[in-house]
Structure 1
């Protein structure tokens, strides 16, 4: 488990049977109080029957629960994701415990202001075909609209063709996407970085560059987002790549006023 809030505040409460195996009903205590309708049954240490449990990303701003059935400790059949007591996603597992058929999955950092879902198809645990990325606004209008996506091949779960992806930290007030092409699961050619201004809904290119045609290696001039980039401090870092490595002087620039924020020389 890597979710720090769950590590700190979630406790499973139940009984152990023979050989120190969990047995009977277990429930979740969250911040000292039992969570309503969350829990399920163990039989000789294996989950069995209907379970309501915390999603791996459950925290104070993303109280996501998932509900479905276990058979001998393995997820089976239909599973549903709930957020604010509303169904927001899910799909089915086959007899081998692999995702199969149509699924709606949640973004890795799903929470109130980043309600991102991915909709597409699995075949025996592998993504295939077209996958769409959806985003539901929490404040402005609360509408759900498609913001990206692309296709996977039918064999190796490699991304292929044109894609629009979300940047790390994507949320309602900082909507940054990247668009370009994949070849055999690797980025090739020109990729662009887009920023959507939530106040006006205008979508503008604020960066990007080129990958070589072989192995996702950045080449030539690039404008990237700095680690400090956020909606009220839009800092990019601009410079040159040679064989996938930064070379020469790179400048951090505040694109809101076009002033140099700082710079570093990578040849030193």
Structure 2
């Protein structure tokens, strides 16, 4: 690897930098030149910097190497280019240290007038670019504004490819949702019906911005989800706003189905699909609040419904009736769900805890007070934090008015590990 080092002409009293657990202090006055090491890991030194002007005004000038704001082991991104009077000018390149090798992955041109305005063709990186999510955007700037076609690239297994939709056949990499939501804006319910799989075609990931330089998305777009680069959403923009039907795809190397959602023009009733990594929540909004039936799907091995329940129809976002909820730490090795009833947004009566690892088995639970709703009472079996298949830790004991009392037993599977005593 080529070690990047630049001297910095600075006038500082104290520089402190905390990066990845390493605290670096430079305490000097009237320093003409110094090297600031920004990142040290695995005995490899990464350095950057540049020159400030001679007038002690803290204005950057000349050649600079800058680290990305989130620079760490798996996100070693550097920006290399020139400053003029404190603004970026001319050509700037983006480099990524990939397993010890500096690779040029992007960059573009700033105006020569020294105003720091992007112009012409650019390849930019996503905000959360790292080893596992190497997403870049390729398009054109005009006077600092995105215009025309912008394409999205995602580097997979060493190849920087423009992602394309594929036909939903057996074994395809990118598959289409297979559920259609039809809504009547005068009705509070949505009819759901199955539809056959349809072909996406060789659709490029990305879309277009308006040509007036207002950076408004227009027309058809294929976008990557903010939360998961394996998820793409396909639909239409009008004056920078999503409109109409949007379809969602999940790319995990298997034929995996997801969902779609419909955006109503009046913005009063919206069928929506919320994506959280491998969990999908499908339901309806009314004036910004969840209403009616909401279902929860798990997208790990096929799109399987694992939970859901009802919100009030008055639009206050209050849970009512029977619910199956996913645990806060839900993932493939910790498929824990909670089953019980809500009354006016509070848990009441009996709630059971289930763990699914091939077989959905009840492993715990207890009761909430029917009067002082949301208060745990009586005997409970709870799961401990970080509960998963390899660490099935439960806590067995009693509640009184929402507080633990007496002796609680911690169990590792069927084996007693310790006792914890709570004073009454």
TM-score range, shorter chain: 0.7 to 0.9
Contact 1:28-1:34 at 8 Å conserved across structures? no
Larger radius of gyration: 2
Give the Cα separation in 1 of the matches to 2:222 and 2:268: 19
SS in 2 for 1:177: strand
- Distance across 1 between alignment mates of 2:393 and 2:300: 24
CA distance in 2, matches of 1:228, 1:236: 11
In the other structure, the counterpart of 1:129 is 292
Alignment partner of 1:148 is 2:318: no
Moved runs in structure 1, 4+ residues, more than 6 A?
none
TM-score scaled by length of structure 2:
0.51
Structure 1 residue runs of 5 or longer lacking an equivalent are: 111-115
Match of 1:73 in 2: 240
The partner residue of 1:50 within 217, 220, 232 is: 220
Aligned to 1:207: 364
Other structure's SS at 2:398 match: strand
- Check whether the contact 2:153–2:205 (CA below 8 A) recurs between aligned residues: no
Matching residue of 1:261 = 417
Supply the distance in 1 between the matched residues of 2:139 and 2:268 (Cα, whole angstroms).
28
8 A contact 1:91–1:99 mirrored in 2: no
- Name the counterpart of 1:109: 277
**How many equivalent pairs are there?**
245
* Structure 2 gaps, min length 5: 1-74, 76-125, 164-203
> Relative to structure 1, is the Cα distance of residues 136 and 72 closer, same or farther in structure 2, using a 3 angstrom cutoff?
closer
Q: Which residue of 2 aligns with 1:113?
A: none
Question: Structure 1: how far apart are the matches of 2:256 and 2:397?
Answer: 46
Deviation of the 1:221 alpha carbon? 3.1
- Structure 1 residue 245, shift from structure 2 partner: 4.1
Following the alignment from structure 1 to structure 2, what is the Cα–Cα distance between the partners of residues 28 and 40?
9
Q: Call closer, same or farther: CA 1:244–1:21 in 2, change over 3 Å.
A: farther
Distance 1:125 1:41 in 2: 28
Name the CA distance, whole Å, in 2 between partners of 1:76 and 1:180.
36
Q: Does the C-alpha gap of structure 1 residues 169 and 48 become closer, same or farther in structure 2, counting only changes over 3 Å?
A: same
Matches of 1:12 and 1:265 in 2, distance apart?
Answer: 57
Distance 1:227 1:191 in 2: 18
Q: Among residues 118, 132, 142, which one is paired with 1:17 in the alignment?
A: 142
Does the aligned pair in 1 maintain the 2:334–2:387 contact within 8 Å?
Answer: no
TM-score by length of 1: 0.76
| Greater relative contact order structure (CA < 8 Å, 6+ sep) | 1
- Aligned-residue Cα RMSD (Å) equals 3.1
By how many angstroms is 1:69 displaced? 0.8
> Matches of 1:216 and 1:16 in 2, distance apart?
54
Distance change (3 Å), C-alpha of 1:228 and 1:120? closer
Shift of 1:263: 4.5
Structure 1 position 82 matched with structure 2 position 203: no
1:7 paired to 2:123: no
Deviations 1:166-224 (Å, cap 9, x if unpaired)? Answer: 223445554322111011122112211012340xx3x3321112223444233333221
